[in-house]
Amino acid sequence: MRAKLTITSAVLLAACGQSNKAQLHEAANQSEPAAAQVLNNAAENGMDPQEAMQEAGNAAAESNAGTNAQ
């Protein structure tokens, strides 16, 4: 899970020169569904990218915890 978030963070940082909205959409395109939903919503609402990444990581972790518990 952390590797996925690290990769997504790297993609976000590599997108320098793009708008925050474009960076968040790009990160969402490379994320699992729970994180992608958070990132797409953050992009549309003008959320700070760092805060969005944190929330996306939390959403992905919760999603994975639910999947692993079954």
Identify the pLDDT of residue 68.
Answer: 64
Residue 7 is assigned to a structural domain of this protein: yes
Tally of domains in the chain: 1
The model's pLDDT over 40-70, given as tens digits with 9 standing for 90+, comes to 999 999 999 999 999 999 999 998 887 665 5
Q: Could you tell me the sign of the dihedral formed by the alpha carbons of 49, 55, 58, 60, in that order? A: negative
**Domain enclosing residue 53, as ranges:** 2-61
Mean per-residue pLDDT for 33-45?
Answer: 96
The pLDDT assigned to 70 comes to: 56
Looking at the domain assignment, is residue 45 inside a domain? yes
Tell me if 15 sits within 8 A of 39, measured CB to CB: no
Q: What DSSP assignment string belongs to 3-46?
A: HHHHHHHHHHHHTTTS-HHHHHHHHHHTS-HHHHHHHHHHHHHT
- Per residue in 8-18, pLDDT tens? 555 555 556 78
- Model confidence, pTM: 0.73
